[in-house]
């Protein structure tokens, strides 16, 4: 089914209007690799308010459904739709505030990722979402953090799951 | 939490006009099409960028450098007095003219319609609308009552040895003025402000719009307060062609205001005896004769419109008030507007580095420096 059929008329207008004062905002939620229902960081690629501020910095972001998403400039390649492979996506974060790096260094497994698209003018209504992606590769330097996202590709898993090996069937050997 | 630092008070608060510029906009995504104009989509907010130059003494330059290096440490945001924007407060406008743009008006409350000047004519504002006069500003008046009936329909005024001629375009253009032609009789030629009740010690202000009728047969116009309520006949003349006054008799307060081809002529004096006064508008061949009486000429006279009698403690007449068969009151204006304050708008800003340079300083005179830098106002 086309993605357009699930989007609101306002979102479609924002996409196709010759002169649009609205845009889609990507919300990125990263879950804990161990406790996969606990979000450890929420990011957005745009902002419409101040989320936090202190003497030195102002943290901009977006509040969606009561939850704050911190603004970090990022480049996103949305998931592909190909027949032979599981969807893949990638994200490049402009981590100039050093907000992400300590989190990356503390990872103990592949974190689950959820991508959501909301309208700038209505951040509480999700226009599209891509869930159950996992970070399969991370690279970073002093300017950017690059994340490769992939889904579990069941087509490449063995079937049936058991094979005649000495560990499963020692009587045969 | 707001910014913790502010532009030091010891520094110039206003930049030089030379070198000052603002760059205002927002981030947009622009997608070229195969033909036609490109698609433009809002992308994200962007802060306004300022280029600023300040003239500082050596001592001020020390303050500035200490502020940049040690206080904001080049990067922290601080409150900067905006070079252009002033703060505003919403406040009621006081009686008189306030020279601000009507776009700054927040609320208007006046239960009646009212006249105001519109270039060289009068316009009539509906209730609860702003009266804005170019060059003067927004007009606010207290409530006032016109005791003179039929104020804008001179065809209904008293005929004292005069006859009515043609309609003439008035300052209002909605209600016409009238030609007043003398009858060929000897005596006073006049009309009146109708009968108005006055009390002793009340200051009475009478006003009427006048215009010359026939330059070849020069006539002057007077306002005359009757002796019955004002001790003696008190009178002052105006030349309706030039607005010049003759020597007044018993009147010290009078004036005129030019509106197009008309003069709004007024005179004021205090009543000494209570009663119903019939104040007169007189024609005369002389600018200084009191209670003129002369042989009329059917081709001579004047053009009159918009009479008004007010009880007023000081000053001239207020804006003309329409009346019909009874006295009428113009309600007071109650207008609140965003009025610029003297203090500039303080905006949160950060220094914008230009090729790694935070600011530049150039000595332009002994112990005087031009300090230039770019700043960006935070978008939210």
Q: Which residues of A touch B44 (CB under 8 A)?
A: 23, 46-47
How do residues B290-321 score in pLDDT, each as one tens digit? Answer: 778 899 999 999 999 999 999 999 999 999 99
pLDDT band of residue A77 (cuts 50, 70, 90) is confident
ipTM surpasses cut 0.85: no
Q: Which one of B1, B30, B39, B44 would you mutate to disrupt binding with A, by most A Cβ within 10 Å of its Cβ?
A: B44
A129-139 residue pLDDT tens:
988 888 888 89
Task: Name which residue leads in pLDDT, B185 or B87.
Answer: B185
Q: What is the mean pLDDT of residues B86-99?
A: 85
- Confidence band, pLDDT 50/70/90 cuts, at residue A1: very low
Q: What mean pLDDT is predicted for residues B345-371?
A: 91
Closest Cα in chain A, distance from residue B6 (Å): 12
Q: What is chain B's mean pLDDT, rounded? A: 92
Check whether A27 has a pLDDT greater than 80.
Answer: yes
Q: What is the pLDDT of residues A33-59, one digit of tens each?
A: 888 889 988 999 999 999 998 877 889
Contact assignment for A60 to B40 by CB distance below 8 Å: no
Which of the pair, B320 or A89, is modelled with greater confidence? B320
Question: Across residues B105-110, what is the average pLDDT?
Answer: 93
Asked if the Cβ–Cβ distance from B43 to A49 is below 8 Å, we say no
Using a CB-CB cut-off of 8 Å, the residues of chain B touching A23 are 29, 41-44
pTM: 0.57
Cβ of residue B75 closer than 8 Å to a chain A Cβ: yes
Q: Give the minimum alpha-carbon distance from B350 to chain A in angstroms, rounded to a whole number.
A: 11
Mean pLDDT throughout B165-173?
Answer: 92
The pLDDT score that the predictor gives to residue B252 is 93
Q: Residues B28-36: what's their mean pLDDT?
A: 89
pLDDT digits (tens, 9 = 90+) for A92-146: 988 666 777 887 888 888 889 899 999 999 999 999 998 888 888 889 888 888 9
B31/A contact by beta carbon, under 8 A: no
Q: What pLDDT score does A97 carry? A: 67
Q: Which residues pair with B140 in a beta bridge?
A: B96
Interface test with A, best of B1, B41, B73 (most A CBs within 10 A): B41
């Amino acid at each position: 089914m086309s993605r357009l059929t699930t989007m609101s008329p306002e979102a479609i207008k924002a996409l196709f209007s010759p002169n649009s004062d609205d845009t889609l905002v990507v919300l990125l939620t990263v879950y804990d690799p161990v406790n996969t229902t606990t979000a450890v960081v929420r990011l957005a690629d745009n902002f419409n308010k101040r989320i936090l501020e202190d003497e030195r910095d102002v943290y901009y972001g977006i509040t969606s459904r009561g939850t704050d998403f911190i603004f970090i400039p990022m480049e996103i390649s949305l998931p592909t739709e190909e027949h032979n492979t599981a969807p893949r996506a990638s994200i490049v974060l402009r981590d100039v505030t050093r907000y992400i790096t300590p989190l990356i260094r503390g990872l103990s497994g592949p974190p689950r990722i959820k991508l959501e698209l909301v309208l700038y003018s209505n951040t509480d209504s999700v226009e599209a979402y891509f869930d159950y992606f996992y970070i399969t590769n991370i690279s970073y330097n002093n300017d950017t953090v690059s994340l490769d996202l992939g889904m579990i590709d069941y087509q490449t898993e063995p079937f049936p799951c058991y094979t005649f090996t000495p560990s499963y069937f020692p009587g045969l050997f | 939490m707001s910014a913790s630092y502010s532009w030091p008070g010891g520094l110039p608060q206003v930049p030089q006009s030379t070198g000052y510029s603002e760059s205002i906009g927002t981030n947009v995504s622009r997608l070229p099409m195969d033909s036609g104009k490109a698609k433009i989509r809002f992308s994200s907010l962007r802060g306004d960028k300022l280029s600023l130059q300040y003239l500082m003494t050596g001592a001020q330059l020390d303050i500035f450098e200490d502020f940049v290096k040690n206080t904001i440490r080049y990067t922290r945001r601080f409150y900067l007095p905006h070079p252009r924007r002033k703060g505003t407060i919403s406040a009621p406008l006081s009686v008189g003219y306030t020279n601000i743009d009507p776009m700054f008006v927040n609320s208007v409350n006046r239960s009646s319609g009212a006249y105001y000047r519109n270039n060289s004519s009068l316009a009539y504002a509906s209730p609860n609308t702003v009266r804005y006069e170019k060059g003067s500003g927004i007009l606010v008046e207290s409530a006032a009552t016109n005791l003179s009936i039929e104020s804008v329909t001179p065809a209904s005024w008293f005929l004292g040895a005069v006859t009515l001629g043609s309609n003439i375009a008035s300052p209002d253009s909605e209600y016409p003025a009238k030609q007043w032609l003398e009858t060929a009789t000897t005596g006073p030629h006049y009309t009146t402000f109708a009968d108005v009740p006055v009390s002793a010690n009340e200051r009475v202000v009478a006003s009427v719009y006048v215009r010359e009728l026939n330059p070849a047969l020069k006539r002057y116009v007077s306002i005359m307060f009757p002796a019955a309520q004002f001790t003696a006949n008190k009178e002052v003349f105006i030349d309706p062609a030039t607005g010049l006054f003759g020597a007044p008799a018993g009147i010290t307060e009078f004036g005129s205001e030019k509106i197009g081809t008309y003069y709004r002529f007024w005179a004021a004096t205090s009543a000494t005896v209570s009663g119903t006064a019939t104040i007169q508008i007189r024609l005369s061949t002389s600018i200084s004769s009191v209670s003129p009486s002369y042989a009329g000429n059917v081709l001579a006279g004047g053009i009159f419109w918009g009479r008004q009698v007010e009880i007023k403690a000081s000053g001239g007449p207020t804006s003309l008030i329409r009346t019909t068969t009874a006295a009428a009151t113009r309600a007071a204006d109650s207008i609140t507007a965003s009025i610029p304050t003297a203090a500039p708008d303080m905006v949160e800003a950060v220094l914008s580095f230009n090729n790694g340079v935070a600011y530049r300083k150039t000595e332009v005179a002994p112990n005087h420096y031009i300090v230039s830098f770019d700043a960006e106002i935070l978008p939210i």
